[in-house]
Structure 1
Amino acid sequence: MKPEESCDQISVLYDGSCPLCRREIAHLQGLAERQEQSSLCFVDISKPGRFASEYAVDRAALLARFHVQCADGSLLHGAAAFVEMWRHLPGWRWLARLAQLPGMLTVMEWAYRGFLRVRPRLQAIARFFETRA
């Protein structure tokens, strides 16, 4: 599926064991809930066993990168997954439109890959502050 094509309903697959992911998803869920009919469903994939057969990708791969599953069953990951989710969020749709500019999705994917390199350190910092709160 091309990232420009929009899904009718998507499942946002996130790592609920990641403090960064939990905080971001809580914010996005709040935005989605403000819509009368949200087309987003948020799924915590950090719980073992439950999702093994539901997705065409193994659990480790799902936890390693951000994924969304479209209503047609297709799975997007990385920047393309963020863009698809943004299409369904009020106040974030402009980012989805920005991603349609030539080369922009590639730049967003590079930025996301850069984030993934530092994610473990950021998670450790976030966990440190969670335990001190």
Structure 2
Amino acid sequence: MSDETRVLFNADCPICNAEICHYRAYTKARGLNVAYDDLNSDALSDWKIDPETAARRLHVVKEGKLYVGVAAFVALWSEMPRYRWMAKIVRLPGIWQLSNGVYERILAPWLYRKHLKRSRKA
């Protein structure tokens, strides 16, 4: 992987894809150094994680460091001027713990279950 910020996401998830497509359009329009990899493509092999792990959480590599879950969102938002305020708020004590709790216990598991259901139907 290069020095650019890279995002690994599930393009088969309608919610994930819509959000990441928005970020991709935003970063591209501003010439920001962010690349996006669909976990359902050959790009997954560059990440050295298995498809199940990739589908469970958002993953971002920034400055050579891997961020997962809420930390991945914060790393991505920090790259985008319009979203830096969200990164700052989520980093605040209390908000950080709440955000992680909601993402890890509710949002990520729900999205992953939806992913499994779509996979079984395919």
State TM-score, norm by structure 1. Answer: 0.74
Secondary structure of the residue aligned to 1:88 is coil
Secondary structure of the residue aligned to 1:99 is helix
Q: What does 1:101-116 correspond to in 2, within 5 Å?
A: 101-113=92-104, 114-116=106-108
Aligned partner (choices 117, 120, 124) of residue 109 of structure 2: 117
| Residues 116 and 31 (structure 1), Cα distance of their counterparts in 2 relative to 1, 3 Å cut | same
Tell me how far apart the structure 1 counterparts of residues 5 and 29 of structure 2 sit (CA, whole Å): 17
Larger radius of gyration: 1
Task: Say if 1:67 and 1:76, in contact at 8 Å, map to a contact too.
Answer: yes
Task: Say if 1:13 and 1:68, in contact at 8 Å, map to a contact too.
Answer: yes
Structure with more helix by fraction = 2
Deviations along 1:74-114, whole A, 9 cap, x unmatched? 21100000000001113111011112311322211112121
| Residues 122 and 43 (structure 1), Cα distance of their counterparts in 2 relative to 1, 3 Å cut | closer
Q: What does 1:1-133 correspond to in 2, within 5 Å?
A: 9-35=4-30, 37-47=31-41, 49-52=42-45, 54-72=46-64, 74-113=65-104, 114-119=106-111, 120-121=113-114
Tell me how far apart the structure 2 counterparts of residues 102 and 32 of structure 1 sit (CA, whole Å): 28
Deviations along 1:15-62, whole A, 9 cap, x unmatched? 111111111111111111221x30211111112x5533x224222101
RMSD (CA atoms): 2.4
Task: Say if 2:37 and 2:43, in contact at 8 Å, map to a contact too.
Answer: no
State TM-score, norm by structure 2. Answer: 0.79
Count of residues in correspondence between the two structures? 114
| Relative contact order, higher structure (CA 8 A, sep 6+) | 1
Secondary structure of the residue aligned to 1:92 is helix
> 4+ residue stretches of structure 1 with deviation over 4 A?
121-124
Percent of aligned pairs with the same residue? 26
